[in-house]
Amino acid sequence: MPSRDDHTTVLIADESELVRKTVSRIVGRLGYHPVTASGGNEAVSLLQSSSFDALLLDIALSGKDGIDVLRFVIENSYAFPVIMISGSGDIDQVVQCLKMGAYDYLTKPVDAHRVQTVLKNAFSESALRRKVRLLTAAVDQSPVAVVIADNRGHIEYANPSFMTFRNALTECRMQENIFDDDAQPENLSVKFRNAIVSGKVWQGDYCNHKRNGEFSWERAIISPVASQGESGSHILAFMQDITESRKNQEALLKSNRRFRELADLLPQPVFETDSKGFITYSNRAGFSTFGYSRKALKQGLHALQFFAPEDKNRLMHAIRMKKNSGPSGTHEFTLFRRDGAGFPALVYTAPITERKGSGGFRGIVIDITELKESERMLRENRKKYLDLFQAIPDAIIAADAESGFLVEWNRQGQLFFGYTPEEFSRLHIGDLYPEPLREEGLAYFRNACTGQAVTLETQIVTRQGIRIDVHISSATFTTEHFRCFVGIFRDITQQKRSERLVKENIRMKNDFISTVSHELRTPLFSILGFTGTLLREQDELERETRMEFISIIHDESKRLSALIEDVLMISKIDSGRVSYKKSELDPSITVSEVCRSLKIRADEKNIDLRLRVCAPMEHIFADQDSLKQVAINIIGNALKFTPPGGVVQVSLFCEAQTMCFSVEDNGPGIPAEEAEKIFEKFFRVERPGEAVDGTGLGLSIVKEIVAAHDGTVEVKSVPNQSTVFMVRLPISMQPCRK
């Protein structure tokens, strides 16, 4: 019977609103949950969408009437009781509904006590029917054969499993006497009769032959049943075919015999224990390994006596864990033979589960003395190789040949690339190369893994983003788990720099020879040309022409002398043979003299050469000729590159304890990428379409002279706007280094 709470739902279908409200109040007071419908169609819709425990149904409904709704309930096999509500003149229809399957009926006006009684009885009978259906379904679907017979042996009920199980009964009539069943063994009928007479339950296994000649084992339980106060009026029998179970038992016995036969062939000890830890079985190897006899085994050998004292607690803990978790496991222990000799061993154990409640274990013992010695030697060799691996000065990286992810690296590799071990373990081999060279590095990795590449010169990128030139040598080898690529990364940055310097020096040397040759040839040819003309035509030339020729010869000689002086000066600087005669001097006097001497060149190019000296001007300790050469080179360069109509501003001023000498022009400027190179020997800024005289030595000489006076020189340039050279020399009366 449904519990009287909100979960027991009653559908009330009646056209009268007054009846619906009245019945709903009654149902609600009884502790049930009422739901109402005003017509037959609405009632059917609610039945399709919701679950109900009972239906109070008016016969006279609009749309579908009560009989139609009842027919819908029956056709759709709804299991709840239907109680009809009718007027006094609907008795014929009420009878029709009861014949169709309605549980009961109520007459209008509805009586509350009558409603309570009908609902209570309906729910009780509905619950009983549900239990009967459930029990019937369970017995009918049970794989166990069930049969009920009276005390004379006539079958009154047999489930489908019984009919299938007992081939002899497949064609029998339900009232056939089971005592006359040819399929029963002779003494089984006697047991049936004895069960009826004694009133006791009998159960047991027996062998049977079916009518088709098959041999089978069966298990039966026979119980007397009393009915209507009569003792032993019926018998209830449960029967089950256990042929397969018996076959499995026999197979298990054969398997156990086979296990022991095979175990005796093994060279390792095999054992079994009971729940208390006493050994119940050992193969031949167990007796020979530990030195015990079968007689000693029968007298009692506990498994713990074979283990070292320090291992016993660990063993017991392992056994407890296995009892709880079940899976087999391996543990390394020190075991002792009968003579007291110990040896290391692996003990594989597993719980014995096929013996009910045994709680024992079976296992196998493997002597690993030789394995331990091999492991010791392997560890020593591995340590040697690891020490060697870590001591190699080159960076070594190992990667999985299939995936390319890093798996090993040495100490130098970690320092070289700058990654932590955790970061290394997440890196791919491609991550070691800069983006433009990554595909090249990956192609080399793939080729090296297939033996098609051995070395590569490329660049790697460190964790800090620094690019380093490297030479990579590679090899591949196969371990137990994967194929491995090993790359040895050798830093060739210095080598590459040296190669570049050698190439650059060769280029600069060639450029210098070419430039000097050109610079020497030009004034020399001029001198030879004009002197030759004077020698050949001195009588025909006028005095002014001869003086002009002599002046040109003089200027070209001076130019040739200056060129030779630059070459000699840079040679002295490179060889360390230059010496400076330093003294206290006023730098403004020296710079003023240089500006006066270069004024003629400035006027020839229509350049405004200006000099600004900020007073007071402090003295410096310097070599006057060297200071003059610095001023000539810087101011001369400014005049050389300033276009006609331009301005060259020369300034002298003091700043803290420093004398500052600056030269600013408004010429084409210097490209930013070449600003740091202009102080190198023989370097000249390439200016397409322009031919500018010079050897590229002037600024290099300036830098060496300024450095020898503990000063600095720098340049700031804005292309196509201006260039400023700034020389700073210390103001000091103390001698500077030579």
The pLDDT value given to residue 1? 42
Q: How does pLDDT run across 529-561, given as a tens digit for each residue?
A: 778 877 888 777 787 887 877 877 876 776 677
Between residues 319 and 171, the one the model is more confident about: 319
The pLDDT value given to residue 661? 94
Nearest Cα neighbor of 221 from 235, 234, 231 is 235
Which among 85-99, 344-358, 691-705 has the top mean pLDDT?
A: 85-99
CB 726 within 8 A of CB 653: no
Is pLDDT of 232 > 70? no
Backbone φ, ψ for residue 545 (5° rounding)? -65, -40
State mean pLDDT over 292-318.
84
Pairing relationship of beta strands 230-241 and 145-150 according to DSSP bridges: antiparallel
Question: How far is 559 from 632, CA to CA, in rounded Å?
Answer: 13
Is pLDDT of 127 > 80? yes
Residue 225 CA neighbour count, 13 Å, CB half: 14
pTM of this structure? 0.35
The pLDDT value given to residue 88? 66
Question: How far is 177 from 543, CA to CA, in rounded Å?
Answer: 168
Which among 142-146, 352-356, 691-695 has the top mean pLDDT?
A: 142-146
State mean pLDDT over 431-458.
89
The pLDDT value given to residue 212? 63
The pLDDT value given to residue 322? 64
Question: How far is 189 from 421, CA to CA, in rounded Å?
Answer: 83
State mean pLDDT over 470-495.
86
- Which range (79-93, 317-331, 378-392, 712-726) has the least confidence? 317-331
Helix, strand, coil share (%) of the chain residues, nearest 5: 45, 25, 30
State mean pLDDT over 707-736.
84
Question: How far is 589 from 371, CA to CA, in rounded Å?
Answer: 93
The pLDDT value given to residue 427? 92
The pLDDT value given to residue 735? 46
The pLDDT value given to residue 180? 55
The pLDDT value given to residue 134? 83
State mean pLDDT over 174-201.
60
The pLDDT value given to residue 436? 92
Structure-block tokens of residue 705: 């002279």
Average of per-residue pLDDT values in the chain: 81
Rg of the chain over CA atoms, in angstroms? 58
Sheet with 658-665: strands ordered across:
608-613, 647-655, 658-665, 722-730, 712-718
Separation in Å, CA 102 to CA 52, 58, 72, 129, 564 = 15, 12, 12, 14, 135
Question: How far is 30 from 112, CA to CA, in rounded Å?
Answer: 10
DSSP string, 9-25: EEEEE-S-HHHHHHHHH
How does residue 682 score in pLDDT terms, banded at 50, 70 and 90?
Answer: low
The pLDDT value given to residue 185? 52
